[in-house]
């Protein structure tokens, strides 16, 4: 008899909840909804023009611009899905129910990661429907999410052997132990920038611990994390506080980083994109000129951006970011491509991007300080263009990229350069 497949348990997040606000954003953004054969068959089986006459004769399913051999839903001239109603409800959902919609639409904003412990249910923050919680509120959707998790349109898998860095593998239990330490450091109560740098110091110290205890301890990450939990993290925080980078170097690095990704989304030649990124890097360093940002649909003056304050001690500013970063760790989608250490570095880059875009949003609005509304918008922007809804993290699977970033990470000021805020008066 064939071996019966064992169903993995569903693991729900404790810190986040989601409820659709019918904002219409997920049906109005530039995403090309992936369609499977049965999705296409369901859509084409109904004459939707009986309910919405303007759909008469329209090709509701069209080839994707990014992959002409694959199909997506038709968009109107304003970029909105043809099935989006004036009240931001979905026509397919309203007439035929949730399970009639394309699977990608059914699953949004949920994501799944298979692990040896079970299927972790994560949530995309590219939506305003996210709220913090202190329980397991998403369990109310257990039946639907369990069904979706059985055949998700996109998921990732983590095996029992996890990459810590290119030279070391650890068990999944050890990865969870290291995550517990990182989450301890990201508990509210301290400065968020200090906490993120402390997490990098924590992983760097574990790397030294690995080298010193090779072959001596069966599960070194568990011993290491339990040891720090017993004695506390004061020494790690003290080490992290010494990382004071140049604000000019930080502006230059992040602007170049943003422009390279913007170039990837805007099309055109790679040479042209590199040229624009280089010019933007110089402009950001000297605080002269401006740049057009597709993700904000606005021109950003570099001098205005550099003058916007970001108060990392203001919990109204940092608590939403902290919630997001903790959830990124929980949903574990960085590990399959990046490993633990590289994944954490990418997490710090995500934070820097959120801050960068929050300052950009405030600058475009004419504000001298980042406000909570800028944070919410920037988390959505970063999640959409850099994190869950792109293949950006897969770049870090490349051995050359890993080698370059590992070398950079070994320079003590590198993580500080990514994470630390410049002051409004820096020169």
Q: What is the pLDDT of residues 160-187, one digit of tens each?
A: 999 998 889 999 999 999 999 999 999 9
* Selected residue with higher pLDDT from 416 and 147: 147
Distance between CA atoms of 300 and 289, rounded to whole angstroms?
9
Question: Is residue 121 over pLDDT 50?
Answer: yes
* Selected residue with higher pLDDT from 254 and 344: 344
Residue 128 DSSP label: T
Cα dihedral 232, 320, 335, 143, rounded to 10, equals 110
The Cα angle at residue 409 between residues 403 and 410, in degrees rounded to 5:
95
Mean pLDDT value across residues 111-120: 95
Please check whether residue 141 is in contact with residue 345, taking contact to mean a CB–CB distance below 8 angstroms. no
**Owner of token pair 């993995």:** 8
Q: Return the pLDDT at 375.
A: 96
Tokens at 239, concatenated: 């080490």
Task: Name the least confident of 126-135, 185-194, 268-277.
Answer: 268-277
Q: Return the pLDDT at 135.
A: 93
Q: Which candidate, 267, 295, 323, places its Cα nearest to that of 386?
A: 295
Q: Which residues contact 149 (CB under 8 A, 6 or more apart)?
A: 10, 112, 119, 121, 155
Q: Return the pLDDT at 312.
A: 87
Mean pLDDT value across residues 252-273: 63
Q: Which candidate, 40, 47, 153, places its Cα nearest to that of 101?
A: 40
Mean pLDDT value across residues 214-223: 84
Phi/psi of residue 208, nearest 5 degrees: -65, -40
Question: Is residue 17 over pLDDT 50?
Answer: yes
* Selected residue with higher pLDDT from 421 and 172: 172
Mean pLDDT value across residues 235-243: 89
Task: Name the least confident of 31-35, 74-78, 89-93, 285-289.
Answer: 285-289
- Band (pLDDT 50/70/90 cuts) for residue 425 is very low
Q: Return the pLDDT at 94.
A: 94
Question: Is residue 4 over pLDDT 80?
Answer: no
Question: Is residue 266 over pLDDT 60?
Answer: no
Task: Name the least confident of 161-165, 189-193, 285-289, 311-315.
Answer: 285-289
Q: Return the pLDDT at 101.
A: 95
Distance between CA atoms of 381 and 354, rounded to whole angstroms?
8
Instruction: Express each pLDDT in 342-393 by its tens digit.
Output: 899 889 989 999 998 999 999 988 999 999 999 999 999 899 888 887 776 6
Across 350-375, b (16+ Cβ under 10 Å) vs e yields bbbbbbbbbbbbbbbeebeebeeebb
Instruction: Express each pLDDT in 64-104 by its tens digit.
Output: 887 888 899 999 988 899 999 999 999 999 999 999 999 99
Q: Return the pLDDT at 273.
A: 59
**Owner of token pair 């940092």:** 318
Question: Is residue 426 over pLDDT 50?
Answer: no
Q: Return the pLDDT at 302.
A: 82
């Amino acid at each position: 008899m064939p071996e019966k497949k064992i169903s993995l348990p569903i693991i729900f997040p404790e810190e986040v909840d989601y409820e659709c606000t019918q904002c219409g954003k997920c049906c109005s953004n530039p995403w090309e909804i992936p369609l499977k054969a049965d999705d296409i068959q369901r859509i084409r089986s109904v004459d939707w023009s009986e309910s919405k006459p303007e759909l008469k004769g329209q090709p509701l399913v069209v080839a994707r611009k990014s992959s002409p051999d694959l199909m997506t839903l038709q968009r109107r001239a304003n970029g909105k899905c043809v099935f989006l109603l004036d009240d931001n409800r979905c026509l397919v959902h309203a007439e035929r129910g949730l399970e009639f919609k394309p699977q990608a639409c059914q699953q949004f904003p949920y994501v799944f990661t298979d692990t040896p412990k079970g299927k972790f249910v994560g949530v995309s923050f590219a939506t305003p429907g996210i709220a913090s919680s202190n329980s397991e509120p998403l369990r109310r959707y257990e039946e639907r999410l369990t069904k979706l998790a059985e055949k998700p349109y996109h998921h990732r898998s983590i095996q029992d052997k996890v990459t810590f860095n290119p030279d070391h593998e650890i068990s999944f239990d050890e990865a969870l132990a290291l995550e517990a330490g990182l989450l301890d450091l990201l508990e509210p109560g301290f400065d968020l920038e200090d906490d993120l740098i402390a997490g990098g110091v924590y992983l760097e110290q574990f790397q030294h611990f690995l080298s010193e205890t090779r072959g001596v301890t069966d599960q070194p990450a568990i011993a290491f994390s339990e040891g720090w939990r017993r004695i506390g993290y004061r020494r790690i925080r003290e080490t992290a506080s010494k990382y004071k980078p140049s604000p000019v170097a930080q502006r230059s690095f992040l602007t170049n980083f943003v422009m390279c990704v913007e170039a990837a989304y805007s099309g055109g030649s790679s040479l042209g994109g590199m040229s624009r990124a280089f010019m933007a890097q110089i402009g950001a360093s000297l605080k002269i000129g401006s740049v057009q940002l597709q993700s904000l649909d606005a021109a950003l003056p570099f001098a205005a951006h550099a003058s916007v304050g970001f108060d990392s001690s203001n919990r109204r500013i940092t608590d939403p970011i902290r919630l997001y970063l903790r959830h990124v760790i929980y949903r574990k989608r960085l590990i399959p491509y990046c490993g633990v250490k590289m994944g954490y570095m990418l997490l710090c880059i995500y934070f820097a991007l959120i801050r960068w875009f929050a300052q950009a949003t405030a600058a475009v609005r004419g504000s001298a300080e980042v406000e909570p509304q800028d944070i919410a918008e920037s988390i959505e922007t970063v999640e959409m263009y850099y994190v869950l809804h792109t293949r950006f993290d897969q770049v870090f699977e490349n051995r050359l990229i890993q080698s370059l970033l590992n070398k950079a990470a070994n320079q003590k000021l590198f993580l500080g350069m990514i994470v630390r805020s410049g002051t409004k008066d820096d020169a």
